[in-house]
Amino acid sequence: MLYDLRTYRCRPGTVSAQLAAYAETGFAAQCRHLGAPLLYATVETGDVNAYVHLWQFQDAADRERRRAALYEDEQWLAYRRRSAEAGFQTGQTNMLLKSAFFWLQHPTQNEDQR
């Protein structure tokens, strides 16, 4: 599995407005192509002007294929334009993560797969 952890930073006081715009016009389009995220969350400590989301893919090719389809979706492109015009976001970081070799052998992971 490949995990894509994304952190977005917003101007102070605008995280709620950014997430409202995303919920209204971006979330459905993104889920249509990427599947449901494993996590979508606001930051409670540290950089509280940020939010994170975590997506799961089979591998890099799966991620690339699904993200290419996303960027052909007019609803997603409309959200991107709306977000850019609002100017709430000030930065983005994303990390691609792979599970440690022992993680899939962990008992709680095995229970989830039954």
Does pTM surpass 0.75?
yes
Report whether 48 contacts 39 (CB < 8 A). Answer: no
pLDDT band at 35 (very low <50, low <70, confident <90, very high): very high
**Alpha carbon 47 to chain centroid, angstroms:** 17
Each residue's pLDDT tens digit, 65-101: 999 999 999 999 999 999 999 999 999 999 999 988 8
Closest CA to 26 of 82, 65, 64: 82
pLDDT band at 114 (very low <50, low <70, confident <90, very high): very low
